[in-house]
Chains A and B, each alone.
Chain A
Amino acid sequence: GAGVSQSPSNKVTEKGKDVELRCDPISGHTALYWYRQSLGQGLEFLIYFQGNSAPDKSGLPSDRFSAERTGGSVSTLTIQRTQQEDSAVYLCASSPPGLSTDTQYFGPGTRLTVL
């Protein structure tokens, strides 16, 4: 079946602009996660959704970052007034309910470049 998809695959924006990144999780997956990965670095957790609610948004680096999920499916990560340090690959992952291994299935990511 279809995996996690993200759009756009690449986004170049100017400092100060707002951007929206989209994630379509695997159908039936109730959990959805956003991560950020800078060049050569590990994955930095941003936010976790269970259904449409976000019980853990502790990783959002500032109030310029927000995310929502609607219909228990699609999620949008919004970065307002982008800064150069926001440049990174933004990865989305989803996982099905009741999986003991908590396996997360990742999308291909959106590469954000802030000029």
Chain B
Amino acid sequence: GQSLEQPSEVTAVEGAIVQINCTYQTSGFYGLSWYQQHDGGAPTFLSYNGLDGLEETGRFSSFLSRSDSYGYLLLQELQMKDSASYFCAVKGGYSTLTFGKGTMLLVSP
């Protein structure tokens, strides 16, 4: 089976940097993804790591270490609109994703 652990909540102020960690235990691993979900909205894709290292997309970066079964999402120059839930997800077999329970990010002025 697959299981993922991420913090339930993180708080930060506008302009700050925040890191959301994700550790996983999987029977098969093909990549780690991150999704953002605003309250009442649909999850939207943010980032994907298939190999070890850092992937950067604008203010967001994602890191993966397969040997440590660990990844993180880094959000820089936080804005109020970044307040949302962030989910890490592991791709197992059949291209299906197993999602973590999500981290609620609260950005305050």
Contacts and interface: CB of A to CB of B under 8 A. Distances in A.
Interface of A: 4, 31, 33, 35, 41-45, 48, 50, 55-56, 91, 93, 95, 100-109
17 contacts: A4-B42, A31-B95, A41-B101, A41-B102, A42-B87, A42-B102, A43-B43, A43-B97, A43-B99, A45-B97, A45-B98, A45-B99, A48-B95, A91-B42, A101-B33, A101-B50, A106-B43
B45 A104 contact: yes
Given A48-B94, A55-B94, A56-B94, A42 B100 contact: yes
Nearest to B30: A102
Secondary structure at chain B's binding surface: helix, strand, loop or mixed? mixed
**Residue from the set A35, A42, A48, A103 with the largest chain B CB neighbour count within 10 Å:** A42
Given A48-B96, A95-B95, A100-B50, A108 B42 contact: yes
Contacts of B98: 45
Secondary structure at chain A's binding surface: helix, strand, loop or mixed? strand
